Amino acid sequence: MNFKRCEIQGLIVIEPRIFGDERGYFFESFNKAKFEEELGEAVDFIQDNESFSKKGTLRGLHFQKKPFAQAKLVRVINGEVLDVAVDLREESPTYGQNYSIILSGENKKQFFVPRGFAHAFLVLSETAIFAYKVDNSYAPDHDAGISYNDPEINIDWPIEESKLIISEKDNKLLSFSKYKENPQF
């Protein structure tokens, strides 16, 4: 596995070593010892989740408030998404900045998003199967988010807004300026 640290501290892109032949392929998708050695700390993933979405589906920008904040290790099993993390750590020099990466079933890259970030993804292929590990339980009362189209965060979504498929809940998320009035991490 190749671990690449991103411009925003804490975010890591993981590129697996893929062994392929005429039968197909094999790769190690997670190795706790290697992951924690690279991270420099223990992460106890407690749950795996999977979603299926069609093209244009945008899920996010989501996070959970303390004490239920979650770190995530995300990947795409089939299809292609634009995956985005926004730094919500007030003490960070990159506070409010976003980082995006294409994850796909073809490139098999994974993206580690630590606690202190909002997370979203946009499906670029006809469909996508998105999988992720989390290190804390889902707590509906601590569920929160920031609007995907906030001008201050300024994420460059590659599908025009009129073609996005967004849940009613996600359409009602806070602006970043409202979030900054009452930070929730």
What domains can you pick out in the chain, each with its CATH number? 45-181 (2.60.120.10)
At 182 the pLDDT is 82
* DSSP assigned state of 163: G
CA-atom Rg of the chain in angstroms: 16
The three-point CA angle 88-54-104 to 5° equals 65
What is the Cα–Cα distance from 149 to 84, expressed in whole angstroms?
12
Q: Check 99, 132, 148, 179 and give the catalytic one.
A: 132
What mean pLDDT do residues 115-131 have?
Answer: 98
> Tokens 């999977």 belong to which residue?
50
Q: In whole numbers, what is the pLDDT of the chain averaged over residues?
A: 96
**Residue range 24-67, pLDDT digits in tens:** 999 999 999 999 999 999 999 999 999 999 999 999 999 999 99
How far is 100 from 117, CA to CA, in rounded Å?
Answer: 12
Once rounded to an integer, what is the mean pLDDT over residues 140-146?
A: 95
Annotated active-site residue in 62, 99, 148, 179: 62
Percent of the chain with pLDDT over 90: 97
Beta bridge partners of 3: 14
The DSSP string of 134-162 is ESS---GGGEEEB-TT-TTT----SS-GG
DSSP single-letter state for residue 79: S
Q: What is the pLDDT of residues 146-161, one digit of tens each?
A: 999 999 999 999 999 9
- Tokens 């602006």 belong to 175
Q: Is 132 a catalytic residue?
A: yes
For residue 185, pLDDT over 90 is answered with: no
- Per the listing, tokens 């300026």 go with 177
Q: Which of 77, 54, 74 is nearest to 124 (CA)?
A: 54
CB count within 10 Å of CB 163 equals 8
**pLDDT value of residue 71:** 97
Is 184 a residue whose pLDDT tops 90?
A: no
- Taking residues 180-185, report their average pLDDT: 78
Lowest-pLDDT range of 64-68, 72-76, 99-103: 64-68
pLDDT at 76 over 80: yes
pTM: 0.95
Task: Give me the mean pLDDT over the 81-93 stretch.
Answer: 97
User: Does residue 183 surpass a pLDDT of 90?
Assistant: no
